[in-house]
Amino acid sequence: MKITIIAGARPNFIKIAPIIKAIENKQFEGETMTFRLVHTGQHYDKNLSDTFFEELNIPLPNANLDVKSGSQAEQTGAIMIAFEKELIHNPCDLVLVVGDVNSTMACAIVAKKMNIKVAHVEAGIRSGDMTMPEEINRIVTDSITDYFFTTSTSASDNLLKNGVSTSVIHFVGNVMIDTLYQNLERISPPNFWSDYDLKTGNYIILTLHRPSNVDEEHALIRLLEGIDQMVGDKKIIFPIHPRTKAILGEKDLNLKNILFVEPQGYLNFMYLIKNSFAVITDSGGISEETTVLGIPCFTMRTTTERPETIEIGTNTLVGITIENLEKEYKKFTAADIHLHKRGIPELWDGKASERIIDILLKN
Ligand code: UDP
């Protein structure tokens, strides 16, 4: 079986690493499955792309479609045009897409129209929020997928409700957590750890990049100032996403606790998360990692496609206003409520990628 694996953006790289490792292990055992890795070029900054290939030992892509930034339609269209050419020159039996970025949807459409089977890793998750580009990507991708690999029973249930047959839904667990377990012993502090006098539990990690939080400059500044004041004497490490940086520009902000740093490589970032007091974020992936690590996480969104991080894990959905965040943060610091609620969702055991490859080999 010849598989083309698609990766375009930071969270994709983290998800494909263990899948590739699982294929290589099978090859070592004598299986004839082969893969071709296609990087769409959706994320191209060194610290959003190359660093992850190096740190997670991902082989260099066989092709780079080099699409770079653009509007939703420009980027999706550019990926589709380039990927169609790629598939004509390098046919395969199956295209494997992960997550919910534009590359996921664009490449799934191209493959399906060329009568090539599509496997979607992280299928079935839904926020119900159609203003999120990711939600549209999820729905479109799942409407043309052949193999649905899910991270939770609730994701499988969403697919069943949409009429997908049980025979093609495979609840396998979470590949992002495979990567976490595979690298926990390799994580290390960033260079600024001692410069900023960071110690386990004396700082908070902040990440924000979703349009609902960052696209409106004044609202973003108000949010940052509010968070800065809310945390007392805790430092806040803010690895700033290029999208957020572009909106803030060179503004002189009046912040005493927030320390801006570059987007971090995986090994430094996971060290920072694992040793933090708490995390404030609008990322879905980070709320999964904090769930497994038992780190309190405040998600600055009104919906989540990962309900298990809230039901079982340490995640709290706080909406997008500073007032709500403050309310929930105060409750937490007053009562340590998260300490009573800690658990790891079913099958988030580091073996999801192996299960995926076993299922593909049997079909
Ligand atoms: N991440 C990282 N460095 C950072 C910020 C995030 O390595 O500075 C990792 C993080 O651990 C998670 C993934 O990137 O695994 C999430 O990426 P992002 O927030 O871009 O995507 P989302 O989860 O929102 O789709």
The conformation of residue 97, written as its DSSP 8-state character, comes to E
DSSP state of 30: T
Distance CA(19)–CA(22), nearest Å, equals 5
pLDDT at 252: 83
Q: What is the pLDDT of residues 127-182, one digit of tens each?
A: 999 999 999 999 999 999 999 999 999 999 999 999 999 999 999 999 999 999 99
- What's the pLDDT tens digit per position in 347-362? 999 999 999 999 999 9
Residue whose CA lies nearest to ligand 1 atom number 7? 266
Report pLDDT for 340: 63
The secondary structure element, H or E, covering residue 238 is strand 235-239
Tokens of 62: 């066989």
Q: H helices within the chain, ranges in order?
A: 10-28, 50-55, 72-89, 102-113, 133-143, 153-161, 175-183, 192-195, 211-214, 217-230, 242-248, 266-274, 284-293, 308-311, 322-335, 352-362
Question: Does the CB atom of residue 125 touch ligand 1 within 6 A?
Answer: no
Annotate 151-185 with three-state secondary structure: CCHHHHHHHHHCCCCHHHEEECCCHHHHHHHHHHH
Which among 207, 260, 269 has a CA at the least distance from the CA of 235?
A: 260
Whether the per-residue pLDDT at 313 is higher than 80: the answer is yes
Question: For a pocket test of ligand 1, which of 282, 283, 299, 306 has the largest count of ligand atoms closer than 8 A to its C-beta?
Answer: 283
Catalytic residue among 39, 170, 209, 241: 209
Give the nearest ligand 1 atom to 210 CA. Answer: 24
Ligand 1 in reach of 284 Cβ (< 6 A) = yes
- Residue with the smallest CA separation from ligand 1 atom 11 is 286
Atom of ligand 1 nearest to the CA of 285: 23
Give tens-digit pLDDT for 246-278: 999 888 888 999 999 999 999 999 999 999 999
Closest C-alpha to ligand 1, atom 2:
266
For ligand 1, atom 3: residue with the closest CA = 264
Amino acid identity, residue 37?
L
Mean pLDDT across the chain:
95
CB 276 within 8 A of CB 295: yes
Tens-place pLDDT, residues 198-228: 999 999 999 999 998 999 999 999 999 999 9
What distance in angstroms lies between residue 158's CA and the mean position of ligand 1's atoms? 25
Rounded to whole angstroms, the Cα distance separating 36 from 5 reads 6
Q: How far apart are CA 137 and CA 42, in angstroms?
A: 14
Q: What is the structure's pLDDT at 43?
A: 82
pTM: predicted TM-score of the whole model, two decimal places: 0.96
- Residue 363: band (very low, low, confident or very high) from pLDDT cuts 50, 70, 90: confident
- Catalytic residue status for 340: no
Quick one: pLDDT at residue 250?
80
pLDDT the model gives residue 153: 97
Q: What is the pLDDT of residues 286-310, one digit of tens each?
A: 999 999 999 999 999 999 999 999 9
Q: Average pLDDT for residues 59-85, to the nearest whole number?
A: 95
